Amino acid sequence: MAKSFKVVIVTPDKTAYEGDAISATIPGMAGYIGVWANHAPLVGAVAPGMVGLKIDEAGSEKYFSVGTGFVEISDNVVNLMTDTCEIGEEIDVVRAEEALERARQRLVSMETELDRERARLAVSRAQARINAEKHTH
């Protein structure tokens, strides 16, 4: 039996998730971070993307779309602090696809690097929402 650890995902407005998992996949700035029980201590930046949690050995999973933030892993607790978080099953995929298209259009029309970076983040957030919703179903 796999050992579990605690996962807490918080935004400025709410605790989006608090529960146990046996594995987690978190979008870091340099790529995805895989977490299992007894993971080495870590503090890192979170990129917009999809968080995946394997809840139990039976295969129960949860998926979330998150924005930017930080993750702290220590003593079998994963604390993920992010500016936005949506659980996959609550995402309106049509709205997310529309947001993705708008963000892609903005990306090609931006003139400054700052505007392009904001548009790239919007594309990443919209794509993460779509991915989280599709993995849920």
- Indicate whether 66 and 127 sit together in one domain: no
Provide mean pLDDT across the span 58-75: 95
Q: CB neighbours of 120 closer than 8 A, spacing ≥ 6?
A: 107
pTM exceeding 0.75: yes
Per-residue model confidence (pLDDT) at position 14: 96
- Indicate whether 68 and 114 sit together in one domain: no
CATH number at residue 97: 1.20.5.440
Residue reference for tokens 């050995």: 57
- Indicate whether 70 and 113 sit together in one domain: no
Per-residue model confidence (pLDDT) at position 137: 62
- Indicate whether 100 and 110 sit together in one domain: yes
Domains of the chain: total: 2
Q: Residue 49 sits in which domain range?
A: 5-88
Q: What tokens were used for 19?
A: 């529960």
Distance CA(117)–CA(69), nearest Å, equals 16
Q: How far apart are the first and last CA of the chain?
A: 26
